[in-house]
Structure 1
Amino acid sequence: MVGARIRNLRESNGLSQRKFCMMIDMNRTYFSEVEKGKRNISLDNLIKIADGLNIGLEDLFRDM
């Protein structure tokens, strides 16, 4: 699941949801629901998250 992958990458970078959402200018409630798999996410927001994690979009889906 992409939400769990995003959470693992964010946490491995030592970032709280609050700090990460501030960095990428995304609503924390929305982001939390994405990480929990409760929300569909647009390609634009996936790119924003990947950029915030300093990885390519392809790396977001690696080993899934």
Structure 2
Amino acid sequence: MKMRIIWFILILRFSLMNCQIYREEMNISQEKFALSIGMDRTYYSSVEAGKRNVSIQNIKKIADGFGISISELMKKAEMYMNM
């Protein structure tokens, strides 16, 4: 059970750190993206850098901002981790 929790946390962190890739594909700045999802730019920047523990509500905001589900965000991160 403990390993599953650790694995989940790693995937979650990796998926949030990959937000930069998704955001750049949208050709949008951190500031514009953060504002579009109702989040402070400095907070969002620290999320992209993997420096934050993010609530599920904010993960949902980020996923919605990219037009994907939370599970899709996690799946893509898991795919990148397996490369």
- Percent of residue pairs bearing the same amino acid type: 42
Q: CA RMSD in A?
A: 1.0
Q: Which residue of the partner structure matches residue 62 of structure 1? A: 75
* Structure 1 gap ranges (5+): none
Normalization by structure 1: what TM-score?
0.90
Question: Which residues in structure 2 correspond to 1:1-64 (within 5 Å)?
Answer: 1-63=14-76, 64=78
Normalization by structure 2: what TM-score?
0.71
Partner amino acid, structure 2, of 1:42: S
Partner amino acid, structure 2, of 1:9: Y
* Structure 2 gap ranges (5+): 1-13, 79-83
Q: Which has the higher helix share?
A: 2
* Number of positions where the alignment pairs a residue of Structure 1 with one of Structure 2: 64
